Amino acid sequence: MKYVLGVDLGTSAVKILLVNEHGDVVNEVSKDYPVIQKRSGYSEQEPDVWVEKTVDGLSEVVRSFQGNPEDIEGISFSGQMHGLVLLDNDLYPLRNAILWNDTRTSKECEQIYNVVGEDQLLKLTKNPALEGFTLPKILWVKNNEPNLFANAKTFVLPKDYVRLKLTGKLHMEHSDAAGTLLFDIANKEWSNEMCDLFGLRDQFCPPLVKSHEVVGSLLPDIADEIGLTSNTKIIAGGADNACGAIGSGVLEEGKTLASIGTSGVILSYESSHEKDFKGLVHYFNHGVENAYYTMGVTLAAGDSLSWFKDVFAPDEDYDDLLEGIDDVPPGANGLLFTPYLVGERTPHVDANIRASFVGMDRSHKRDDFVRAVLEGITFSLNESVEIFRKQGKKIETVISIGGGAKNDAWLQLQADVFNAKVVKLKNEQGPGMGAAMLAAYGCNWFDSLRACGEEFLRVDKEFNPNISNVRKYKELFEIYQDIYQNTKELQHRLVKFRN
Ligand SMILES: Nc1ncnc2c1ncn2[C@@H]1O[C@H](COP(=O)(O)OP(=O)(O)O)[C@@H](O)[C@H]1O
Ligand SMILES: O=C(CO)[C@@H](O)[C@H](O)COP(=O)(O)O
């Protein structure tokens, strides 16, 4: 039997799956790490902590594997997107990575619009200037830490940094490059025009590869530490949302994915780069060659629940925290929550908005709050579902992945809010499975990722919308949607009081 390893470098943890040639997960491990938040709107991590945890995790998985490690043929990677890792001449990080949910870069987004113009930016990159994307972060360092920036030779994204340290080879692959605002997604090359406009030298952008490409092998000392040899192939990998889509079989038009990790994503497969969503949703290259996807993003989806747990139930696990939510009716007895803990992206591009509980009553118990948090996260994702439906997409089935797919009551709630069948796969860790599938395809086990999906992916459970709840949620969603406009001004006036 042959095996591959899928490494998903998430925001909360690195999750590693050892998968056999039938797609069975035979071993898995998760190693978490903190997000460093120095100020409101800031979000950073230490790149070398990712490497240390990934090597530890790989070593644990391989050393507890009962079979022959020589049978582990390939490793591939999925990674949190957009995070800036600036590297010096020797390819060491110059500072902490600035993550996708860091929104300090509003001025730099304005700078981008002033230099390129909104229409031209959409033409060149298919995307608007959002605080979370990489170019605004590069400009922030250039504007605010010029001495440090003077020593920057190149940059990579989170999983590319880990792969660089494991192999000694510098690359970025298309699906993640798409989220930098420096990439021409139609021609799959760096946009010279964007680089020139922002004074980024030749060589600042790293060499590009395809997601399923074999890019090297493990450095000898790392291979020793993990318990593998340099025969194990290293395959480039993909952005976590591209890998999430691969790992849940979103490999053809008409398929929709809901991912609830730290962020929340509603993603739709696109066979062409020529559609015009006017920047309302992100438009990126898939990990499947010559394919694309569009998606709407909630910045703090699972992160809202994890914040609530950290503050109000630090000693409980998620299952305990969510135990009572089925006893609370839709609408949490008149309590609504908006998940804007770190600002928002879709549909409100607003770095200064913050979350609210609306309708708190003397009678509310903790379970009402927990249900309201889950409903608020799901309403926020439904805003993206609605954008897609308004664009003419039919959304009748949604495949749900990520930490948020671990709880059946939340999956039913998703079906009721989205008014669509929600499918849970046997392995809800979509991005890790997607990375394993890229490794299997890169090792030539299959002719296509679709053929790999047919062998690897299995449905576990399906959740059908409950018509009475669908009606209630339709009404509640309208009230939820009004909260943004009604709290926006108040929240903006509070900015100067934040830390
Ligand atoms: N048992 C559970 N039930 C419901 N939600 C969960 C559970 N476990 C984790 N989560 C949610 O999943 C999130 C983490 O999801 P994950 O996909 O691992 O994130 P990431 O890829 O960003 O590291 C947590 O923030 C939490 O909100
Ligand atoms: O910024 C985005 C997508 O544009 C996020 O979806 C990140 O890619 C982080 O993902 P998770 O850690 O939530 O999986």
Q: Which of 27, 120, 137 is nearest to 81 (CA)?
A: 137
Q: What's the pLDDT score for residue 133?
A: 98
* CB environment 371-403: b (16+ within 10 A), e (fewer): bbbbbbbbbbbbbbbbbbeeeeeebeebbbbbb
Report, as an integer, the average pLDDT of 402-428. 95
Q: Which of 55, 15, 128, 19 is nearest to 436 (CA)?
A: 19
Residue 429 has pLDDT above 90, yes or no: no
| 269 inside domain | no
Which ligand is closest to the CA of 297, given by its number?
A: 2
Structure tokens at 254: 């008409």
Answer whether 139's CB lies under 8 Å from 198's CB: yes
194 labeled part of a ligand binding site: no
82 labeled part of a ligand binding site: yes
Taking the centre of ligand 2 as the mean of its atom positions, its distance from the CA of residue 10, in whole angstroms, is 8
Answer whether 1's CB lies under 8 Å from 20's CB: yes
Q: What is the largest CA-CA distance in the chain?
A: 64
Q: How far is CA 118 from CA 191, 272, 281, 329, in A?
A: 16, 22, 15, 44
Q: What's the pLDDT score for residue 120?
A: 96
Residues touching ligand 1 (Cβ under 6 Å) are 10-13, 261-262, 302-303, 305-306, 318-319, 322, 402-404, 406-407, 410
Cis peptide before 347, with omega less than 30 degrees from 0?
yes
Enclosing domain of residue 185: 3-248
Taking the centre of ligand 1 as the mean of its atom positions, its distance from the CA of residue 202, in whole angstroms, is 40
Helix/strand/coil percent split, the chain, to 5: 40, 20, 40
In the chain, the amino acid numbered 229 is T
Taking the centre of ligand 1 as the mean of its atom positions, its distance from the CA of residue 374, in whole angstroms, is 12
Across 48-52, 360-364, 428-432, least confident range = 428-432
pLDDT tens for each residue of 192-213: 999 999 999 879 999 999 999 9
Structure tokens at 184: 């021409």
Q: What's the pLDDT score for residue 499?
A: 85
Q: What's the pLDDT score for residue 472?
A: 98
Name the residue at shortest CA distance from atom 3 of ligand 2. 81
Residue 428 has pLDDT above 90, yes or no: no
Distance CA 355, CA 362 (A): 20
Number of domains in the chain: 1
Taking the centre of ligand 1 as the mean of its atom positions, its distance from the CA of residue 409, in whole angstroms, is 14
DSSP designation for 93: B
Which residues are annotated as catalytic? 240
Q: What's the pLDDT score for residue 427?
A: 80
Distance CA 168, CA 148 (A): 23
| 231 inside domain | yes
Beta-carbon count within 10 A of 332 CB: 25
User: Which own/partner contact pairs does 483-487 have at CB distance under 8 Å and 24+ positions apart?
Assistant: 483/336, 483/338, 483/356, 483/358, 484/338, 484/340, 484/348, 484/353, 487/338, 487/353, 487/356, 487/358
In this structure, what CATH number is given to the domain that contains residue 217? 3.30.420.40
Q: What's the pLDDT score for residue 442?
A: 98
Structure tokens at 461: 């459970």
Name the residue at shortest CA distance from atom 2 of ligand 2. 81
Atom of ligand 1 nearest to the CA of 317: 1
Q: Which of 172, 149, 176 is nearest to 80 (CA)?
A: 176
Which ligand is closest to the CA of 7, given by its number?
A: 1
Tokens 């690195």 belong to 14
pLDDT tens for each residue of 295-341: 999 999 999 999 999 999 999 999 999 999 999 999 999 999 999 99
Categorize the per-residue pLDDT at 292 as very low, low, confident or very high, splitting at 50, 70 and 90: very high
pLDDT tens for each residue of 85-100: 999 999 999 999 999 9
| 143 inside domain | yes
Task: Give the three-class secondary structure for 465.
Answer: coil
Name the residue at shortest CA distance from atom 9 of ligand 2. 80
Tokens 């999906």 belong to 453
Tokens 């999430």 belong to 244
Name the residue at shortest CA distance from atom 10 of ligand 2. 80
Q: What's the pLDDT score for residue 202?
A: 78
Phi/psi for 398 (5° steps) reads: -130, 130
Which ligand is closest to the CA of 81, given by its number?
A: 2
DSSP string, 414-450: HHHHHTSEEEEES---HHHHHHHHHHHHHTTSSSSHH
Taking the centre of ligand 1 as the mean of its atom positions, its distance from the CA of residue 13, in whole angstroms, is 10
In the chain, the amino acid numbered 185 is I
Out of 265, 294, 344, mutate this one to test ligand 2's pocket (max ligand atoms within 8 Å of CB): namely 265
Atom of ligand 1 nearest to the CA of 407: 3
| 65 inside domain | yes
Taking the centre of ligand 2 as the mean of its atom positions, its distance from the CA of residue 136, in whole angstroms, is 17
Out of 80, 284, 303, 307, mutate this one to test ligand 2's pocket (max ligand atoms within 8 Å of CB): namely 80
Report, as an integer, the average pLDDT of 342-360. 97
Percent with pLDDT over 90 in the chain = 98
Structure tokens at 216: 């090297």
pLDDT tens for each residue of 468-486: 999 999 999 999 999 999 9
Helix (H) or strand (E) holding 192: helix 192-197
Atom of ligand 2 nearest to the CA of 11: 12
Residues touching ligand 2 (Cβ under 6 Å) are 10-11, 80-82, 100, 132, 179, 240-241, 261-263, 265, 282, 297
pLDDT tens for each residue of 99-113: 999 999 999 999 999
Report, as an integer, the average pLDDT of 439-465. 97
